[in-house]
Amino acid sequence: MIQQSPAKTKSFLKAINKAAMQKCNDIAKQIEETTKAEMARAEDEASRDGHMKIDMAKSKIEAETKLQVAAFETQKKKEIYAKRKAYQEQVFSAAATELKDFTKTEQYKLYIEKCLQNISDKVGANLTFSVAENDTICADAIRARYPDATVLTQAEIGIGGYTLKDEENGILIDDTLDSKLAEQTDWFLLHSGLKVEV
């Protein structure tokens, strides 16, 4: 059996301890570096997740806000359309009343006579006129200008004027005050200043 001197054994143990301590220090350093790297990765991941969650929440809030704004605008437009329609109906109702009053005047008779004169070169002899019920001024003016024409009453004509059918020439003429008033709807919407903007 080989015996070593205590000084050599001590030196050998010291070298082993030193190597073991170095190895422990290397392992501790490696663990520390790995822990730092893992912590940094975990923090990055948490940060990314946090930003993603924030972005998702922000997107959700923006989408909900846009929906609320769109719903509000739609509701306001409906209200404005309803008000505009009510105002339009009020204006056209007042205009219809004034036109109805006009049909009882001498100016109405002159107006109808002028309309009948304007169509005289366009129509033949076999004519059928339709007038509003109780519109004797119009009916009398038609009979005076076209004695052979048929004059009927038509419930759809509420204000005054006439429609004319000339079957020989395939002509239909609508000279009713009702249709002339209805034709003003688009003009009214364009020029009334009642635009719908929200």
pTM of the model: 0.57
- Using DSSP, state whether 173 is helix, strand or coil: strand
* Beta strands, E only, 63-180: 127-131, 150-153, 161-166, 171-176
How many CB atoms sit inside 10 A of residue 146's CB? 18
165/123 Cα distance (integer angstroms): 9
Q: Give the integer Cα–Cα distance in Å for 133 and 75.
A: 43
| pLDDT the model gives residue 27 | 83
* 19-to-11, 13, 16, 31 alpha-carbon distances in Å: 12, 10, 5, 18
The predicted structure's pLDDT at residue 61: 84
Vertex 114 angle, CA 122 and 130, to 5°: 70
Residue 132 DSSP code: -
Q: Is 123 helix (H, G, I), strand (E, B) or coil?
A: coil
pLDDT at position 195 is: 58
Q: Give which of 102, 137, 97 is closest to 116, Cα–Cα.
A: 137
One digit per residue, the tens of pLDDT, for the chain of length 198 reads 555 666 766 676 677 777 777 887 888 788 888 888 888 888 888 788 788 888 888 888 888 888 888 888 888 778 777 777 787 788 878 888 999 999 999 999 999 999 999 998 889 888 999 999 999 999 999 999 999 999 999 999 999 999 999 988 999 999 999 999 988 887 877 766 665 554
Strands (E), 54-185: 127-131, 150-153, 161-166, 171-176
